[in-house]
Structure 1
Amino acid sequence: MSNTQLIIEERAADIGNFMVGRLLPFRKKRMVGPFIFIDHMGPVALGTDENIDIDMHPHIGLSTLTFLFEGNVFHRDSLGTAREVKPGEVNWMTAGRGVVHTERTPDYLRGREKGLHGLQIWVALPKEWEQCDPSFAHIGADEIPVWEEEGIHFKLIAGEVAGKRSPVPVYSPLYFMEIKSGERKTVRLGADLFGESALYILEGTVISEGHSYGPKQILVAKDSSLCDFEIEAGTTVYIFGGAPFPEERFIEWNFVATSRDLIEQAKENWRQGRFAGVPNETAKVPLPEPKLKK
């Protein structure tokens, strides 16, 4: 990762009934291309009496991408969608002007020991799409492009790069890809990347310009065209980025927008119960109270 601009360490965050590692946003780097929020979930072992239960909560102005390495999550939303996401699959939900969803352990796994490990990603929508109708897409593991070059395994989870295109219906030029190798290899991607680019190390070691980097770090490149690096055997990394937006993005709670007014309206709509609900769900996540300044 030549000319590394910034190294971001994974930080612990609490999203309810278990801890996750928060990667974006970061104080010195709010976005990478259109990517505005990334959580690393797990790995966590859940006992027979432990389940994922994230009650109804709203979103605006973004698409969510759920990608699991281990475990299963059942998604329900205000569009009437009811879909399980399994390892290697993608759930892609576009909030637009507003959507509500829940995430839970599937019924057939309750009362059993299970694990959870994956990434939860928010991709901000272009200004012209931020008030679009909400939608949902599920992409099977066998639909995601995979290929191998010189012993390096590639998987293009979303976007377009190196002449490959994922079927995930993105709204702006971006890429989110997995790179793995069982041997020490040099990865050369600079000619294929564009916009802003960052690399997240899930496992193993990345070597760049004589420096070694390990798991739970994000390396943000100054120039995506210089994105060449070495990986040790047994390394898995994720490269993500794309064209940045010309406008600033604001993020508060689960809302992303080009104006604070849109966020304030969304907050009031949630307080007043104006968002459509999720069929057969009643429990809601309350709007967080503002933190008092000391």
Structure 2
Amino acid sequence: MSNQGLIIEERSRDIGDFLVGRLIPFRKKRMVGPFIFIDHMTPTIMKPGKYMDIDQHPHIGLSTLTYMLEGEIMHKDSIGSHQRISPGSVNWMVAGKGVTHTERTPDDMRGGTEFIVHGYQIWVALPKHLEEIEPEFYHFDALELPNWKEGGTDFTLIAGKGYGKESPLPVHSDLFMVELKNKERYELQIKGELRGEIGICVVDGEITACGNSILKGNMLVSKTEDNCSIVLEPNTHLLLFGGIPFPEERYIYWNFVSSSKDKIEAAKKQWRNKQFPNVPNDNSYVTMP
């Protein structure tokens, strides 16, 4: 493996009724390209009476990317967006100078049946000159994303550019996020297809990289220019993400990301004083730790 290679094991923690696996930030690797935070909502069976209810909370300086593999979530935000997300579709919220949002189990799923929730919550830092833009929200269905096959392996370009294609998500920096699913053993080509740093997240199955076996629940961080051979063993599910790193450091506190510590301190004060915009018809409030 190259000197830049790093294997990160998913670190589990409980948040209410969910078991979440944190991938980044990691003590030895705070970001991968512009990606600064990735939580894996591991497959959780939601029994009757148990629902996702993430109350109103704020963000600055980043974009959130929600990608569901199983289950559905209802997103509402202070811009006025009200969007259900289903497996394979993407919610992309640009927080910019400040936004609040909630994520909850849809009302029509709060009955007597159980269901599985499984997906990824991802934060992408904004370039320094765009950290205080006006908030925006976008949703794209699965069929709107570029999909193709190579050697029997299914590819979906979720965000950014890669493999000669471009996702419709209006991203603000040079990045990529690609999903792969295979049935048979497959050697993955990265060099020349993707740019910058790369995180290879093993959702399911196993990959072999430069003699290392990397199993489900782990992530390899490297560079797209490295010559390391990556082989997907049969029935593997991957997420590739990364891009060109920013020249400046990013600071993170709770839900706030910025190139300026002063802006984070200002956001903390703003949230404590309840001066952020509100999600319409929602009086919930998450206390800042």
TM-score by length of structure 2 reads 0.97
Contact 1:221 1:227 survives alignment (8 Å): no
Q: Secondary structure at 2:173's aligned position in 1?
A: coil
Q: Which amino acid aligns with 1:138?
A: H
Report runs of 4+ in structure 1 exceeding 3 Å deviation.
1-4, 14-17, 222-225
Contact 1:194 1:225 survives alignment (8 Å): no
Correspondences of 1:139-218 after superposition (within 5 Å)? 139-218=140-219
Partner of 1:291: none
- CA separation of 1:171/1:151 partners in 2, compared to 1, >3 Å: closer, same or farther? same
Partner of 1:276: 277
User: Distance in 2 between the 1:115 and 1:266 partners?
Assistant: 35
Cα deviations by residue, 1:144-202 (Å, 9 ceiling, x for unpaired): 00101121211100000111000011000000001111001111121112111110000
Contact 1:199 1:240 survives alignment (8 Å): yes
User: Distance in 2 between the 1:167 and 1:121 partners?
Assistant: 17
Cα deviations by residue, 1:98-149 (Å, 9 ceiling, x for unpaired): 0000000000000231110001100000001100000000001110001011
Correspondences of 1:107-122 after superposition (within 5 Å)? 107-111=107-111, 112-122=113-123
Q: Does 1:77 align with 2:85?
A: no
Tell me which moved more, 161-170 or 15-24.
Answer: 15-24
User: Distance in 1 between the 2:55 and 2:219 partners?
Assistant: 30
Correspondences of 1:51-66 after superposition (within 5 Å)? 51-66=51-66
Partner of 1:39: 39
Task: Please report how far the alpha carbon of residue 255 of structure 1 lies from its aligned counterpart in structure 2 after TM superposition.
Answer: 0.2
Tell me which moved more, 15-24 or 194-203.
Answer: 15-24
Contact 2:42 2:118 survives alignment (8 Å): yes
Tell me which moved more, 195-204 or 215-224.
Answer: 215-224
Contact 1:2 1:229 survives alignment (8 Å): no
Correspondences of 1:125-140 after superposition (within 5 Å)? 125-140=126-141
Task: Please report how far the alpha carbon of residue 15 of structure 1 lies from its aligned counterpart in structure 2 after TM superposition.
Answer: 3.4
Q: How many residues are paired up?
A: 288
Task: Please report how far the alpha carbon of residue 225 of structure 1 lies from its aligned counterpart in structure 2 after TM superposition.
Answer: 4.4
Partner of 1:292: none
User: Distance in 2 between the 1:252 and 1:228 partners?
Assistant: 36
User: Distance in 2 between the 1:194 and 1:5 partners?
Assistant: 16
Gaps in structure 1 of 5+ consecutive residues: 289-294
Q: Does 1:261 align with 2:257?
A: no
Q: Secondary structure at 1:269's aligned position in 2?
A: helix
Q: Secondary structure at 1:267's aligned position in 2?
A: helix
User: Distance in 2 between the 1:155 and 1:76 partners?
Assistant: 26
User: Distance in 2 between the 1:87 and 1:223 partners?
Assistant: 28
Q: Secondary structure at 1:277's aligned position in 2?
A: coil
Task: Please report how far the alpha carbon of residue 208 of structure 1 lies from its aligned counterpart in structure 2 after TM superposition.
Answer: 1.5
Q: Matched residues, percent identical?
A: 52
Task: Please report how far the alpha carbon of residue 226 of structure 1 lies from its aligned counterpart in structure 2 after TM superposition.
Answer: 2.8
Q: Which amino acid aligns with 2:198?
A: S
User: Distance in 2 between the 1:227 and 1:89 partners?
Assistant: 31
Contact 2:2 2:226 survives alignment (8 Å): no
User: Distance in 1 between the 2:66 and 2:266 partners?
Assistant: 26
- CA separation of 1:95/1:108 partners in 2, compared to 1, >3 Å: closer, same or farther? same
Task: Please report how far the alpha carbon of residue 22 of structure 1 lies from its aligned counterpart in structure 2 after TM superposition.
Answer: 0.4
Contact 1:188 1:227 survives alignment (8 Å): no
User: Distance in 1 between the 2:90 and 2:60 partners?
Assistant: 20
Q: Which amino acid aligns with 1:171?
A: H
- CA separation of 1:230/1:4 partners in 2, compared to 1, >3 Å: closer, same or farther? farther
